[in-house]
Structure formats: structure tokens, C-alpha cells
Amino acid sequence: MNGNFVYANPTKLYFGDEAQKNLAKALSGFGKKVLFTYGGGSIKHNGVYDDVMASLKAAGKEVIELPGVMSNPTVDKLNEGRRIARENNVDFILAVGGGSVIDYAKAVSVSAWYDGDAWERFWVKQDDPLKGERIIPVGAVLTMAGTGSEMNGGSVITNHAANMKIGKVFGEEVMPKFAVLNPRYTFSLPHRQMVAGIFDTMSHIMEQYFSGDDDSTSDYLAEGLMRSVIASSLVAVKEPENYEARSNLMWSSTWALNTLIGEGKSQDWMVHMIGHAIGAYTNATHGMTLSGISVAYYRHVMKHAIGRFARFARVVWAIPTDGKTDEQLASEGIDALATWIKTIGAASEITSLGVTPDMLEGIADATIILDAGYEKLTRQEIIEILRASL
Amino acid sequence: MNGNFVYANPTKLYFGDEAQKNLAKALSGFGKKVLFTYGGGSIKHNGVYDDVMASLKAAGKEVIELPGVMSNPTVDKLNEGRRIARENNVDFILAVGGGSVIDYAKAVSVSAWYDGDAWERFWVKQDDPLKGERIIPVGAVLTMAGTGSEMNGGSVITNHAANMKIGKVFGEEVMPKFAVLNPRYTFSLPHRQMVAGIFDTMSHIMEQYFSGDDDSTSDYLAEGLMRSVIASSLVAVKEPENYEARSNLMWSSTWALNTLIGEGKSQDWMVHMIGHAIGAYTNATHGMTLSGISVAYYRHVMKHAIGRFARFARVVWAIPTDGKTDEQLASEGIDALATWIKTIGAASEITSLGVTPDMLEGIADATIILDAGYEKLTRQEIIEILRASL
């Protein structure tokens, strides 16, 4: 375990097919005025809205509804939420939905009482930590597994005018106070959204795993999570209502990005950076932007860490080692990843997401280049990875 | 992930070779009077005592020292601590040591302000939860990896008069508020204690893993942790000052028993129950009582879960499967466990721990028999397992 770090995660998780029964009690520790935010209204058709409203009522809350959070929440929508939160002086924000809704709730949470330009202050300025800003506590009811937003301090916001999609990672004070995780709440999700969430989870794990070549417990935990995600994904794509598979996918996605498996590691995150730039250009589903470029990306960086990619093949994909060189194994591991992407029905390329060759330079320019992982990419390398992903 | 459960773990972990630099700040959130408890005084020879005292001074605390916590903390010692905590009206308990010291601190924490017989109320009565008792918050500075006490609500107390050693698992309100985990603080530990801690960790994982045969993410995480513990143990027994290995062992031990890998599982814990009974009779080192009986125990229950034991062989020990039946694989997995116990120098039998044949019936009588795992053992089966472990 490299370096010095602090692990602190106060989010309380209520898990199971009756998890929502804890919601009223979980809410009771917070103030009376609750901003109840959600997405396009699918929760009104699958019973989740009614469950939540019943809990809010049982807890004696005054509810202000804020629907219409889009799948890539925008600065304009954020500003609407900030205004509503302030005007109503809300005590708590309850996010009901997937990662976009929870990211959005956290964005409102930190910026509602900030007087300036929230986009500039909290997203464009990545290295500017919170300085005692007033924060509105957030809770979550999860309806889509994948982003891990329910147990971390991350919040991704999109600015279409600037063609920018930026994720900010806040600390423990912004993490949800609690999250209700009922795997059955994810059953009515469209198949494509489920698959996107599965790949998002896998990508979170890989982007922490593929950095360094030390012997870290975090990598062993990551391998366990990847094996579980792969096993359950193969069941879930055939039987979307298989509770065991969906519950494993939900639990894995939470633990894939709640800081645990990244502790003591440098981490990479370039797939997410490129994926965000594609998302800003096309508004494509987040998980699909990641699957669309991952194979090309990992083939590109593999040369820097043959041992780690060979281990990925051996441990995660159980590829027999007999007589193979590490180079062969490493390559076969990425082949297995590519096959799995096809098998579960995630995007294998980015053309189907609306990316055209003339966009590549712009996407590369919109990509935030991190100095992490196995190499710091150049603009030209990003264009090559994008071209190989068309 | 079976069932409905709540995951809540508020312990903040400061990890790394400079972790103690956070101690003064961590203490600052609590009251002035600190009960500083530790063991036999080894911390006065390795610099840990001085580090802690400097932090306590920097934080402006009034310190009451309570040394002499033994490796299996007794009811008598507990009563001494309760008296001192009350007489001084302490605001906080800082435990500096291994699991015994931290268990002890938690025991004082919950029982100091209880007026009756603490042993009866909190340990003998297993199913009697806390009912708003006044709890003194606890923090920990860990000097021995193994028990996981630094991030859970467990507390094991020994009553020699009754030949009883009982572990009680309290909830999140009793978990340490923070734990300082500096792997270098474990370097001066006697070799035998390090090995006992390694097996204790492995046993915690196995006792959660060997229950059920469902496909649970918790089992995949457990496999990752076991693989990390095995890999690092083989380095650490040869190079006790290998920071990477010792840091992995420390981090693995914390995550092996902080509730994570047991979520959604029934769990077993009979090896700990028998081990506690041996400990009550012999005062033997906890981890060694577990290694001494584990091989016989798992050979005994293996028949109920051949598939799970075959998976253990394949995934955890990387035993080639070619042409083998699950029975063969399962048996080879336990062989690998037995070999590893010998390789790291843990106890392979219980005779060397002071157990004699005439004690077996008494130990069986002192064993709390749980109805969990793959079968509920009879008294006679416990005697057979003990006899096979002589």
C-alpha cells in the first residue's frame, strides 16, 4: 500500500429487496424541508416514486419536488436547482435515480449557497478544495447501478456551451449521508442502461487497477470485484430479473468507486477523461463512451505494464498460462475484454455513439489530460486512440 | 447478495508510514480527559509511546494512563478500567496496541457507566443489544495487525474463573472513531506474534467465506483479500521489515473484519468459538489456537460444500484443475492451507499450545456452538476435531 492516505466514508448503506423500509427512519435525522430530485419520471411508473413519497410523508417532511434531471446534468439545470434550494431554504436533498441524479444533488448541495459562478468555482478549478462553504446534506435512493455516486463525493456536470463535461471529486462532507440500495429498483431499467452501468463499473475498477506494478491489496480487491462483475453480468444480460446477479452488480458498483480500491494507488482515469469529452460532444450514454474506447486505450498503454496486463489475463479472465509469454497473455487479456464487451452488448466502437472523424480533433482538445497511470498521453495519441475506436 | 442488511462504518483510517502525524488533529474533536491504555510496555521501547504522548500533548489533553492490558484481557482488568474511567470521568479512550488493547478499550467504553455486572450484561448475554448506555468514544493506534478490532465493534473478554472467553459484537456506536495505521509500528513485533496475526486475518476471511454456496460479491472480495494475505505473508516471514508486505497485511487485516466481506452472508465462526475455548483453558496466543484446529475443522465440514472448497483451491491457491474432480480439488485446497500454515510458522497442532487429551471434553463444553455455516456441530464432533488437532 503506497503512500499516506485517509480512508473515511460515512455513507450508511441500506441494502436489500426491502431496503426502502429504512428510508423514513434515515430521513428522520435531518430537517423538515426536503428537496426531492429525480430524472425523467420513470420512477412514477415502477413504484419507486410512491415508495419514496410514502417515506417522506411518514417522516413528516415538507417536500419540494425538482424533476427533470437529465442523464448528463447541465450547468443550466444546476443553476435552476441552486435557485430552488435557496428560495426554499431546504434542509436536505433526496436524490432518487441513477448517478446523474445523485451527482446533480451533490452539485446543488455544495453550490446552492455559493454566490459566484458555480461552474467556474467548483468544476473548472479542479484543485480548489471546499473552504467551509455551506453544504446541504444529501441522501440517495439508487435506481441504476454503475456510477458509484451513492457512496462517494464525485459530481460530473456538463457545460454544452463550452463542450465540456467535468467531474469534480469532493471529500467526505459531500458524500451522501445514506443510500437506499434495492436491487429490484433496477429491474425496470432499459436493457441498454443496465449494460452501460455494468461497463461503467468495470471501467472504474480497471482505471484504478491499471496503474503501478506494485503488490497492493487494493489490486487484489479490484480483481475480486472484476471477477464478480463479469460473472454477474453474463447472468444479468440473459436474465435481467435475476436478483442475485443484479444485487451483486449493485453492490460491486458501489464498492468500485467509493475510494476503497484506489487507496495507496496513483490511479489512471484517462478513459473517463476521453469518455467525458465524447459525452460533451455527442451526449452519448456515459458507460458506452467508456466501452467504445477502452480496448484501443488499453492496447495503447499495455506496453508500459506487460506484467500487470498478464496478471489481468490470468486472474480476472482465468486465461491458461501454459507456455505463453507475458506479452501473449497480456494481449489475450485485452482480447477477452473486447469479447466480453460484445457479449454483454456494450458499445465496441464510438461511431454508433454519433462520433464522426471530423470530431476527433475537437474531442481531443476537450479531453483533460492527466499525468497519471502508465503514461501522460499527448493530444496526438488521444486522436490515434479515438481513430482506432471508430 | 443475500438478505437485507445495513453497512455503516464510521471509523476514519489514517494509513501510512507517517499516519501518526494525524493523531493530534484526530484527537482534537473530543474532550480533554483521555484514558491512554496500552499493554505490557513494548510501546515504550519502539518509540510509539513517545509519538502518542507528543500528540496528546500537542492536542492539549489531560492524560490518565492505564497500562498492563494482557493479551487476553480479563474481567478483573476490565473492572479496573471501568473504575478508573468513572473516577476520572474520562471523555475519550485511546487504545495503543494490538487487538487485545483495542478490544479492552471498547469493553471499558460500553461498560464504564453501567452499574451492574458487566460480564453478565454485555458478554454472557449475547443477544442483548445496547439500550442507550452511555458510551465513551474510543480511538486506536494499531501496533499489531490481525484482529481487525481497529475498525469494528467487536470485543473479546476472558473470564478465567469460568474458563470462558467470549466475543461480543457491538454496533457502529462502539466502533473506534479513528484508527492510526502505521505499518512500521508493527516492525518490532515478535515474529511469532506477527505470524499469529497473519493467521488470525486469514481465519477471519475463511470463516466468512465458508458459508453458503451462492454467487456473492462478498466471496469474490474475500478471495482477493486471501490472495493478498498469502502473497504478503510469504514475503513478511522472510523479511519482517518489508514495508509493502507489512502494509498489505495491515490493510488486509482491517478489511477482513470490518463487516464488509460478511455482508449478505450467514458466516460460520466455529473456528473462533473453539479457538476461544482453547484460549480460555491455555491462555495460548489467539491466532495460534485458530491455525491449530483449522485444517481438522475444514476437513470435517468440507463434505457439505465441495463446490466452495474446490473454488477455494482453484481461485485462492491457483491449483491447476486439469482432469480433477471437485472432491480432489477441495482436498488439495485444504492441503495447500496446511502447507501454508507450516511455511509461515503458525501452529499446526494444539499440543504445542499446552492442550492435553484430558482437556478435550472441557474445551468442548466451553465452546459456544453456533447454528451457522455448513452444519451445527455436536459436542462429540468438536471433540473429534480437537483430537485430530493434537
pLDDT at residue A220 greater than cutoff 90: yes
pLDDT of B41 reads 86
Contact B220 A228 (CB under 8 A): yes
A1–chain B Cβ distance below 8 A for any pair: yes
At B173, the amino acid letter reads E
Contact A15 B8 (CB under 8 A): no
A322–chain B Cβ distance below 8 A for any pair: no
CA distance B209 to B163: 29
Residues of B in contact with A218 (CB under 8 A): 251
Across chain A, mean pLDDT equals 96
| Closest residue in chain B to residue A229, using alpha carbons only | B217
CA torsion, ordered B380, B381, B387, B389, to nearest 10 deg: -160
| Closest residue in chain A to residue B215, using alpha carbons only | A244
Which of A7, A221, A250 minimises the CB distance to B224?
A: A221
Contact A244 B18 (CB under 8 A): no
Contact A228 B217 (CB under 8 A): yes
Let me know: does B118 contact B197? Beta carbons within 8 Å: no
A9–chain B Cβ distance below 8 A for any pair: yes
Question: Minimal Cα–Cα distance from A37 to chain B, Å?
Answer: 24
Q: Which three cell numbers stand for residue B330?
A: 477441495
pLDDT of A283 reads 84
B217–chain A Cβ distance below 8 A for any pair: yes
Count contacts between A and B (CB, < 8 Å).
Answer: 132
Query: pLDDT tens digit string along A184-204?
Result: 999 999 999 999 999 999 999
Instruction: List strand residue ranges (DSSP E) for chain A, in order.
Output: 5-7, 12-15, 33-38, 62-66, 92-97, 138-142, 154-159, 164-169, 178-181
| Closest residue in chain A to residue B320, using alpha carbons only | A320
Residues of A in contact with B232 (CB under 8 A): 215, 217
Contact B251 A217 (CB under 8 A): yes
pLDDT of B9 reads 97
Which of A9, A215, A232 minimises the CB distance to B231?
A: A215
Residues of B in contact with A185 (CB under 8 A): none
Which of A10, A15, A231 minimises the CB distance to B4?
A: A15
Contact A15 B9 (CB under 8 A): no
Contact A5 B18 (CB under 8 A): no
CA distance B61 to B51: 14
Query: pLDDT tens digit string along B275-298?
Result: 999 998 898 999 999 999 999 999
Query: pLDDT tens digit string along B186-219?
Result: 999 999 999 999 999 999 999 999 999 899 999 9
Which of B6, B8, B215 minimises the CB distance to A248?
A: B215
DSSP A61: -
Contact A1 B17 (CB under 8 A): no
Q: B165 pLDDT band (50/70/90 cuts)?
A: confident
- B264 three-class SS: coil
Mean pLDDT of A24-32: 97
B183–chain A Cβ distance below 8 A for any pair: yes
Contact A1 B16 (CB under 8 A): yes
Query: pLDDT tens digit string along B77-117?
Result: 999 999 999 999 999 999 999 999 999 999 999 999 999 99
Query: pLDDT tens digit string along A55-100?
Result: 999 999 999 999 999 998 999 999 999 999 999 999 999 999 999 9
A18–chain B Cβ distance below 8 A for any pair: yes
Residues of B in contact with A19 (CB under 8 A): 4
pLDDT at residue A140 greater than cutoff 90: yes
pLDDT of B81 reads 98
Please tell me the pTM assigned to this model.
0.97
Contact A228 B214 (CB under 8 A): no
CA distance A78 to A179: 21
DSSP B35: E
- CA-nearest of A267, A140, A148 to A197 is A148
